[in-house]
């Protein structure tokens, strides 16, 4: 058994597994606070403060007198908006708003139902009932007819099957995409909601 060749690492070179520590910034680096605000004039807002446009020195003095921090909220506004608030409280509120925003975004679920051009009546009804349940739950349904081998000759039969499928589900779903041919599949997309 051969011993693996060992080559010592050259001194002064970069480490092969060096981590990127810039990724873990301090919280203070995320927002401009107190002395890092570099605008000559700012609009000051906060609890117990009238919104007013003042020089940065006056705004810093106001925050210092209140025992709080001056946090830049909107740097793109004219003049930039700064809030007098405790910085940790500001971070907590900011994190809470981001969490609420993520919770309010709904994830679209697409369920697939497969047919063949020669799907019999029992299978059609069974799959239609599943699709109806999916649409009532708020999911989208992608139904497709798969053409295998020579069944590609029955495109019209596949299209009529998908249109019949959509018609029978028009009480709980609406057509979002008409039947289109995609390779060996003919696809229709139904979304939840009644047809208008």
Higher pLDDT: 11 or 187? It is 187
Looking at the fold, whether 114 and 178 belong to one and the same domain comes out as yes
Position 60 in a domain: yes
The model's confidence at residue 20, banded by pLDDT at 50, 70 and 90, is low
Give residue 74's domain range.
27-93
Average per-residue pLDDT for the chain: 83
Position 10 in a domain: no
Rounded Cα distance, 91 and 98, in Å? 11
Q: What is the DSSP letter of 10?
A: P
CATH code of residue 32: 3.10.20.80
Position 105 in a domain: no
Reference 135, options 196, 191, 195, 194; nearest CA is 191
| Residue 76: per-residue pLDDT | 87
CATH code of residue 153: 3.30.110.10
| Residue 3: per-residue pLDDT | 58
Query: Does position 102 have pLDDT exceeding 70, yes or no?
Result: yes
Element containing residue 82 per DSSP (H, E): strand 81-85
| Residue 33: per-residue pLDDT | 86
- What total of structural domains would you count in the chain? 2
Instruction: Report percent pLDDT > 90 for the chain.
Output: 26
Residue where a domain stops, chosen among 68, 93, 118: 93
CB count in 10 Å sphere of residue 155: 15
Query: Does position 18 have pLDDT exceeding 60, yes or no?
Result: no
The model's confidence at residue 141, banded by pLDDT at 50, 70 and 90, is very high
**Phi then psi dihedrals of residue 190, to 5 deg:** -115, 140
| Residue 44: per-residue pLDDT | 92
């Amino acid at each position: 058994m051969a011993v693996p060749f060992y080559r010592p690492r050259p001194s002064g070179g970069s480490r092969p597994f060096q981590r990127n520590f810039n990724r873990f910034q301090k919280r203070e680096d995320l927002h401009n606070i107190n002395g890092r605000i570099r605008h000559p004039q700012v609009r000051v807002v906060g609890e117990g403060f009238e919104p007013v446009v003042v020089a940065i020195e006056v705004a810093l003095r106001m925050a210092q007198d209140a025992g709080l921090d001056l946090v830049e909220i909107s740097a793109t506004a004219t003049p930039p908006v700064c809030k007098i608030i405790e910085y940790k409280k500001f971070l907590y509120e900011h994190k809470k708003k981001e969490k609420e925003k993520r919770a309010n975004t709904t994830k679209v679920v697409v369920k697939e139902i497969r047919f063949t051009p020669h799907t019999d009546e029992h299978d059609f009804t069974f799959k239609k009932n599943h699709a109806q349940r999916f649409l009532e739950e708020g999911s989208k349904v992608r139904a497709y007819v798969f053409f295998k081998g020579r069944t590609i000759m029955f495109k019209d039969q596949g299209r009529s099957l998908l249109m019949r499928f959509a018609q029978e589900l028009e009480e709980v779903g609406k057509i979002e995409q008409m039947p289109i041919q995609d390779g060996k599949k003919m696809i229709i997309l139904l979304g939840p909601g009644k047809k208008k």
